[in-house]
Amino acid sequence: MDETHDLEIFFERFSKVYARLDVDGVTDMFCLPFFTLINGEKTNWPKLEELYHTTCILFDWYKQQGFYNAQYTVVSLLKLDKNLATARLRWRVTLKDGSPWEYCTSYQLKRIYGEWAMAGVIQYEEKISPMQPNHRPLKHPLARAEDALRHLVDLPKSEEIQLLPCESADDWIG
Protein backbone atom coordinates (compact mmCIF):
# COMPACT_ATOMS: atom_id res chain seq x y z
CA MET A 1 0.00 0.00 0.00
CA ASP A 2 1.17 3.52 -0.82
CA GLU A 3 2.63 5.29 2.22
CA THR A 4 0.39 8.34 1.62
CA HIS A 5 -2.82 6.35 1.08
CA ASP A 6 -4.20 7.42 4.48
CA LEU A 7 -3.62 11.08 3.57
CA GLU A 8 -5.46 10.57 0.28
CA ILE A 9 -8.40 9.11 2.22
CA PHE A 10 -8.31 12.08 4.62
CA PHE A 11 -8.49 14.60 1.76
CA GLU A 12 -11.22 12.65 -0.01
CA ARG A 13 -13.32 12.96 3.18
CA PHE A 14 -12.32 16.62 3.60
CA SER A 15 -13.22 17.48 -0.01
CA LYS A 16 -16.74 16.12 0.46
CA VAL A 17 -17.52 18.24 3.53
CA TYR A 18 -15.73 21.26 2.05
CA ALA A 19 -17.67 20.98 -1.23
CA ARG A 20 -20.92 21.06 0.79
CA LEU A 21 -19.60 24.01 2.85
CA ASP A 22 -20.34 21.89 5.90
CA VAL A 23 -18.92 23.90 8.80
CA ASP A 24 -19.34 21.07 11.33
CA GLY A 25 -17.78 18.51 9.00
CA VAL A 26 -14.80 20.73 8.16
CA THR A 27 -14.09 21.93 11.69
CA ASP A 28 -14.34 18.35 12.99
CA MET A 29 -11.21 17.72 10.91
CA PHE A 30 -9.26 20.54 12.65
CA CYS A 31 -7.06 20.22 15.71
CA LEU A 32 -5.90 22.86 18.14
CA PRO A 33 -3.87 24.93 18.16
CA PHE A 34 -4.77 25.74 14.54
CA PHE A 35 -3.21 28.41 12.34
CA THR A 36 -3.93 30.16 9.06
CA LEU A 37 -1.48 32.00 6.86
CA ILE A 38 -3.38 34.28 4.48
CA ASN A 39 -2.18 37.46 2.79
CA GLY A 40 1.14 37.07 4.61
CA GLU A 41 -0.58 37.21 8.01
CA LYS A 42 -0.35 34.25 10.35
CA THR A 43 -3.26 33.87 12.74
CA ASN A 44 -3.15 31.40 15.60
CA TRP A 45 -6.45 29.90 16.70
CA PRO A 46 -6.17 28.56 20.27
CA LYS A 47 -9.96 28.13 20.72
CA LEU A 48 -12.35 26.17 18.53
CA GLU A 49 -15.25 28.59 19.18
CA GLU A 50 -13.46 31.47 17.40
CA LEU A 51 -12.33 29.22 14.54
CA TYR A 52 -15.82 27.73 14.16
CA HIS A 53 -17.45 31.18 14.11
CA THR A 54 -14.97 32.43 11.49
CA THR A 55 -15.51 29.30 9.36
CA CYS A 56 -19.28 29.95 9.47
CA ILE A 57 -18.77 33.51 8.25
CA LEU A 58 -16.31 32.37 5.56
CA PHE A 59 -18.62 29.65 4.24
CA ASP A 60 -21.60 32.03 4.22
CA TRP A 61 -19.52 34.42 2.13
CA TYR A 62 -18.54 31.56 -0.21
CA LYS A 63 -22.25 30.74 -0.65
CA GLN A 64 -22.95 34.39 -1.50
CA GLN A 65 -20.24 34.20 -4.18
CA GLY A 66 -22.01 31.21 -5.75
CA PHE A 67 -19.59 28.52 -4.53
CA TYR A 68 -20.51 25.23 -6.20
CA ASN A 69 -18.82 21.98 -7.22
CA ALA A 70 -15.40 22.05 -5.50
CA GLN A 71 -12.86 19.57 -6.88
CA TYR A 72 -9.19 19.13 -6.12
CA THR A 73 -6.02 17.60 -7.42
CA VAL A 74 -3.12 16.67 -5.21
CA VAL A 75 0.03 18.65 -5.94
CA SER A 76 2.06 16.90 -3.25
CA LEU A 77 1.71 14.78 -0.13
CA LEU A 78 4.62 14.36 2.25
CA LYS A 79 4.79 12.56 5.56
CA LEU A 80 7.43 14.27 7.66
CA ASP A 81 7.25 11.46 10.22
CA LYS A 82 4.55 9.07 11.42
CA ASN A 83 2.54 11.90 13.06
CA LEU A 84 3.23 14.96 10.89
CA ALA A 85 2.49 15.59 7.23
CA THR A 86 2.05 18.38 4.73
CA ALA A 87 -0.07 18.47 1.61
CA ARG A 88 -0.57 20.87 -1.25
CA LEU A 89 -3.84 20.80 -3.19
CA ARG A 90 -4.99 22.69 -6.26
CA TRP A 91 -8.71 23.50 -6.04
CA ARG A 92 -11.17 24.32 -8.78
CA VAL A 93 -14.55 25.61 -7.70
CA THR A 94 -17.19 26.33 -10.27
CA LEU A 95 -19.41 29.23 -9.28
CA LYS A 96 -23.10 29.15 -10.08
CA ASP A 97 -22.55 31.67 -12.89
CA GLY A 98 -20.12 29.18 -14.47
CA SER A 99 -16.93 31.10 -13.71
CA PRO A 100 -14.13 29.23 -11.94
CA TRP A 101 -12.15 29.87 -8.80
CA GLU A 102 -8.79 28.16 -9.06
CA TYR A 103 -6.45 28.31 -6.11
CA CYS A 104 -3.86 26.38 -4.15
CA THR A 105 -3.81 25.62 -0.46
CA SER A 106 -1.23 23.91 1.69
CA TYR A 107 -2.36 21.91 4.72
CA GLN A 108 -0.30 21.05 7.77
CA LEU A 109 -1.47 17.81 9.40
CA LYS A 110 -0.99 16.03 12.72
CA ARG A 111 -1.96 12.50 13.61
CA ILE A 112 -3.95 12.54 16.86
CA TYR A 113 -5.22 9.32 18.41
CA GLY A 114 -4.39 7.52 15.17
CA GLU A 115 -6.34 9.93 12.91
CA TRP A 116 -5.11 12.77 10.73
CA ALA A 117 -6.28 16.26 11.67
CA MET A 118 -5.62 19.67 10.14
CA ALA A 119 -3.36 21.90 12.22
CA GLY A 120 -2.97 24.69 9.70
CA VAL A 121 -3.92 26.11 6.31
CA ILE A 122 -1.63 28.19 4.12
CA GLN A 123 -2.86 30.07 1.07
CA TYR A 124 -0.31 30.20 -1.72
CA GLU A 125 -0.19 30.99 -5.40
CA GLU A 126 1.71 29.11 -8.05
CA LYS A 127 3.83 31.10 -10.42
CA ILE A 128 2.16 31.23 -13.84
CA SER A 129 4.19 30.16 -16.84
CA PRO A 130 5.26 32.97 -19.20
CA MET A 131 3.59 30.88 -21.94
CA GLN A 132 0.26 32.24 -20.66
CA PRO A 133 0.62 36.01 -21.17
CA ASN A 134 -3.12 36.73 -21.03
CA HIS A 135 -3.67 34.82 -17.79
CA ARG A 136 -4.32 37.19 -14.91
CA PRO A 137 -4.69 35.19 -11.72
CA LEU A 138 -7.44 36.25 -9.38
CA LYS A 139 -6.65 36.88 -5.77
CA HIS A 140 -6.93 33.67 -3.71
CA PRO A 141 -10.52 33.21 -2.44
CA LEU A 142 -9.29 33.07 1.18
CA ALA A 143 -7.52 36.40 0.69
CA ARG A 144 -10.60 37.92 -0.99
CA ALA A 145 -12.79 36.60 1.82
CA GLU A 146 -10.50 37.99 4.49
CA ASP A 147 -10.56 41.41 2.82
CA ALA A 148 -14.36 41.33 2.55
CA LEU A 149 -15.07 39.97 6.03
CA ARG A 150 -12.35 41.46 8.24
CA HIS A 151 -14.87 43.81 9.85
CA LEU A 152 -17.17 40.90 10.82
CA VAL A 153 -14.61 38.68 12.54
CA ASP A 154 -12.71 39.31 15.73
CA LEU A 155 -9.47 37.60 14.71
CA PRO A 156 -6.93 36.50 17.28
CA LYS A 157 -3.72 38.53 17.12
CA SER A 158 -1.99 38.07 13.75
CA GLU A 159 1.66 38.34 12.86
CA GLU A 160 2.89 39.42 9.45
CA ILE A 161 5.11 36.96 7.60
CA GLN A 162 6.96 37.65 4.36
CA LEU A 163 6.62 34.79 1.88
CA LEU A 164 8.84 34.29 -1.12
CA PRO A 165 7.35 32.90 -4.36
CA CYS A 166 8.23 29.35 -5.37
CA GLU A 167 9.12 28.45 -8.91
CA SER A 168 8.19 24.78 -8.55
CA ALA A 169 7.54 21.98 -6.10
CA ASP A 170 11.33 21.44 -5.93
CA ASP A 171 11.62 24.80 -4.14
CA TRP A 172 9.47 23.43 -1.31
CA ILE A 173 11.44 20.30 -0.66
CA GLY A 174 15.20 20.55 -0.19
Is 161 a residue whose pLDDT tops 90? no
On whether the CB atoms of residues 89 and 74 are closer than 8 A, the answer is yes
**Cα–Cα distance list, 32 to 20, 106, 136, 157, 169 (Å):** 23, 17, 36, 16, 28
CATH node for 5-153: 3.10.450.50
Give 62's strand partners.
none
**Cα–Cα distance list, 121 to 71, 98, 108 (Å):** 17, 27, 6
Domain ranges of the chain: 5-153
Residue 69: what pLDDT?
Answer: 87
Is 74 a residue whose pLDDT tops 60? yes
Residue 124: what pLDDT?
Answer: 83
* Mean pLDDT confidence for 81-110: 94
The span from the CA of 67 to the CA of 64, in Å, is 7
Supply the pTM of this predicted model: 0.75
